[in-house]
Amino acid sequence: MIDVALRYKNAGLSCLPTQKDKSPAIKAWKGVDVDVSNFTAHGIGIKCGKASGNLECIDFDNHFGDAKDVISDFMKIDGVKEIYDKYSLPIETSVSGGFHLLYRCDTIEGNKKLAMRPKVKDGRMQPDVLIETRGEGGYFVSAPTPGYVVIKNDICNIATITTEERGVLLSAARYFNKWIDTMYQTTEDKEKPGNRFNEDPASLEEMKDALITAGWVDCGADKWRRPGKNEGISATLGRAAENIFYNFSRSAHPFEAEKGYTAFQVVGLLKYDSDFKRFASDLAERYGLNHKTEAYVGQAYKNQPPAKREETPEEIDILLQRSMIDFNIPVAKPPVIMKIKAQMGTGTGYSRVFTLGNFSAITGKSKSKKTFLTSMFIASSLHGGYYGRVFESDLPEGRRGVLLFDTEQSNYDAYITAKRVPEMLGYFDNNFQAFDLREFSPLERCKLIERALEKAQNSISYVVIDGIADLAMAINDEIEASRVVSLLMKWTKLYNIHITLVIHQNKNDEYATGHLGSAILKKAECIISVKKDLTNSNRSEVDCTLIRGARDFDKFSFEINEQGLPVVDEFEAYIHDHEMPRF
């Protein structure tokens, strides 16, 4: 025991004697340099923190009898095994069947509970520690104490890992937490709309959509990574508790570290900028909770909304007559406002993509640069004629106005996106207007867009809605999907415009998310997909997924140049210095 204690001391580890119950054999041990040459005790404890060169221990307790399975699954989490192998970190087993994983780091803290599980104690469910750290001010019992064995690597050669790598290890440990001590609270938590939303099965998908839109990455198996982080995990969804988002990152605004969030809270924070009262109001309208139905005197009710009057057969006949197609009155083809280069026989031409009176959809995974593609479409529309060696546009004379509605981004990011268009053109065009609608509720956004279209109906032809999902109160609600798509069909016909929508794809396939995405894809004139180039983060590929009544345009790529502007890949661009055939 003395020989090992001396070896530990020579390796920069500060030791203390421990008794059979693991407690220190000396009362005042903190800040005291124990004389290990006169070491007489049941076991050896190793101090953590500055005393041992900023040593920290991740302690996998075996209170549930499955510590071996836990540490095995811990090693399978992205980034953990790489760090373990890179530094040959030592692991030892404890007398109870647990494990210690050891490392040094410039940044450590005091003892922390990383993961807990519920366990019945004294007749009630209470949390019990599964994984914790031993840090500054703490210690752990170590080999050769009876029952403790170093099973991997050398405990006298403990490497120093980076602060970022320590974060990966601690986040991986927090993934195993299945107990929430603290839930985020709002004044609206107990109101009926919020509860109704949390109980709605569709709220889970709406919560995921809000997270992805905000830049969170779904890492699979309930693991989530915060925006701006390239490795490791930052939160879990549905693991600590059913349908609860548990964040343990300190850099995940607006979420607080080590707190649980309901679906109502997640969507309220991310899509309503913490205006939970406004979100509750929208939910009340969605679920029909605005009208009380208090019963009185038999079957009568008070405070009920008046029933909608049924149309008479004569009124329905008038609508039928108005909708009847008259074969004696020819209907002109809708004007084409956008074409994209396409191979046609042995030559190259431009294939129709957007026509007035229709809408199109741009789909893609998160961060595939869908918004950059919309900037190219807008710039091309304002420029007119050929643009970027791929596009040809022709807005009607007198109606060259273009509107952009951004529902997702912050005020600053929406400004940068809109400002990108004049930077691409090289001049400011008064025909272009952009609107930031993030602060409004879904129903308010719809009203604002409709009013803008009404005011500009005599001067616009092309409209982009970046974030169509934010016009719906739930992307997985069939009624909401029908409402939003009906609005799109109404706007495009009533104002004779073309609308391009941006919507995310599902993580595991290339379909647009939710019932809303399915409804849009069924009615869209053209569906365009954007994919990230896996070998070049600045490059994206654009493909024609579907187009009705025309041939597919050629796949092309674009890159983000040094000025932060999208440009068509020069290698793939067809240099057309002569007049191109038109179809």
391 sits in which H/E element? strand 391-393
Q: Hunting for tokens 């080999």 — which residue is that?
A: 143
Alpha-carbon gap, residue 220 to 236, rounded angstroms: 10
Beta sheet of 15-18, edge-to-edge order? 15-18, 43-47, 139-142
Alpha-carbon gap, residue 286 to 293, rounded angstroms: 17
pLDDT of residue 287: 80
pLDDT of residue 576: 37
150 sits in which H/E element? strand 149-152
Q: Are 27 and 46 contacting, i.e. CB atoms less than 8 angstroms apart?
A: no
pLDDT of residue 309: 56
pLDDT of residue 136: 93
pLDDT of residue 160: 96
Residues of the chain with pLDDT under 50: 291-307, 571-583
Alpha-carbon gap, residue 383 to 437, rounded angstroms: 26
> How does pLDDT run across 70-116, given as a tens digit for each residue?
999 999 998 999 999 999 999 999 999 999 999 999 999 999 999 99
Residue-level length of the chain: 583
Question: Which residue in 359, 369, 358, 352 sits closest to 500, CA to CA?
Answer: 359
153, amino acid identity: N
pLDDT of residue 203: 87
- Residues sharing a CB contact under 8 Å with residue 124, sequence separation 6 or more, in sequence order: none
Handedness of CA 160, 165, 171, 173 (dihedral sign): negative
pLDDT of residue 112: 92
**Maximum Cα–Cα distance for the chain, whole Å?**
111
pLDDT of residue 344: 61
355 sits in which H/E element? strand 347-355
Q: Are 354 and 337 contacting, i.e. CB atoms less than 8 angstroms apart?
A: yes
pLDDT of residue 53: 94
Percent of the chain with pLDDT over 70: 91
> How does pLDDT run across 403-436, given as a tens digit for each residue?
999 998 888 888 999 999 999 999 998 999 999 9
Q: Is 271 left (phi over 0), alpha (psi -120 to 50) or beta?
A: alpha
Cα angle value 163/413/498 (rounded, 5°): 135
